[in-house]
Chains A and B, each alone.
Chain A
């Protein structure tokens, strides 16, 4: 019996590799998006601080921008610096 492949469609899945399942700020899944976005993926990325804590970029920026005082990681309260 011969089979001819006429067409095929590829399916791929992706995951963020983070040290936790949910964003500590919005409490939504890292593999989902922040509450202000509709679609997960590169448009709603994760960012890490030098303290190794991870958040949705939109969530941590919203928090840092609302702070007049020194910017701290909300998890460990160390000074917040983005991990390069």
Chain B
């Protein structure tokens, strides 16, 4: 049973990884922390242009953890109680435009890193999502854990202020999580802060329409700090909207399946034909031998 669960979560993760590498989510780059471990993903996030995070380079992690461990971690999430973030999946475009109106910063680009951990019964249980880059954000804990309702298992917990229907379900996937995270970066949810100080500071910044610069300054410093990280990693952070928005490539890697198909139906058929002809000859020879 355990083995079967392993293989079904592995199959789901393989498919997701393949799909995210062929059709990436804008601003994200996904790699495995260790090539042999599908449950442990590293995510690099580039700060979206025209936002406070523009020019940033952030690292996140997605990893396998045992069920027990996961529940423990979840309970720390739940401590934000009424605080848990209700993330309405705002479109990236929308969040980009909102912040653009509020503030414009000199061209600087941000890079974050994060890890995603997957449970063994994925997609029936949610992964955890943790920033490796230090983040000052109302909905990100000091340890980097992100507080988003779709990352919480759908238990009935009226204290949390989250409906079960706003939580994880197996049709969610890494793509939907990444979209939620990128929209959360730009539109913090102040109704349920994981970092109360950051939330208060963000509200001051927002309500003063950018005049109270404390929040923006902290983020600007963090953005600058990520620049060194990106250079160390040899990563070129996109600096224009055009670079940020990945052009969907004409499927080149996609051909792998076509190649297989071609092999089967072109080369092999030719070979088989030849073999068959050869075989016929031998048959004739054989029958000849039999007669003699």
Chain B interface residues toward A at CB < 8 A: 4, 7-8, 11-12, 15-16, 123-124, 154-156, 164-165, 169-171, 173
Contacts and interface: CB of A to CB of B under 8 A. Distances in A.
Contact of A72 (B8, B15, B165): B165
B11 A68 contact: no
Given A35-B4, A69-B154, A70-B164, A63 B11 contact: no
Contacts of A66: 124
A70 to B, nearest CB: 7
A75 B47 CA distance: 30
A35 B12 contact: yes
9 contacts: A25-B123, A25-B170, A26-B11, A27-B11, A27-B16, A63-B124, A69-B154, A69-B155, A69-B156
A42 interface: no
B156 A62 contact: no
Main secondary structure of the interface of A (DSSP, over half): loop
A36 B7 CA distance: 8
A34 B1 CA distance: 14
B4 A36 contact: yes
A74 B169 contact: yes
Contacts, number: 48
Given A34-B8, A59-B170, 18 more contacts: A25-B123, A26-B11, A27-B15, A27-B16, A27-B123, A28-B11, A36-B4, A36-B8, A62-B124, A63-B169, A66-B124, A67-B154, A68-B155, A69-B164, A70-B164, A74-B170, A74-B171, A77-B169
B4 A68 contact: no
Most buried by A among B7, B154, B156, B171: B171
A59 B155 CA distance: 19
Interface residues of A, number: 20
B170 A35 contact: no
A24 interface: yes
Contacts of A34: 8
Nearest to A62: B124
A32 B36 CA distance: 26
Nearest to B169: A74
A26 B12 contact: yes
Top 10 A-B pairs, shortest CB-CB distance: A35-B8, A74-B169, A69-B156, A24-B171, A74-B171, A25-B170, A77-B165, A69-B164, A27-B15, A35-B11
Contacts of A77: 165, 169
Nearest to B15: A27
Contact of B7 (A35, A59, A68, A74): A35
Interface string A20-56: 0000111110000011100000000000000000000
Contacts of A24: 170-171
Contacts of A62: 124
A75 B171 CA distance: 6
A26 B121 CA distance: 11
Nearest to A78: B165
B44 to A, nearest CB: 24
A59 B123 CA distance: 10
A83 B136 CA distance: 48
Contacts of A75: 171
Nearest to B9: A35
Given A69-B156, A70-B164, A25 B4 contact: no
B149 to A, nearest CB: 12
A74 B154 CA distance: 11
A7 B165 CA distance: 59
A64 to B, nearest CB: 11
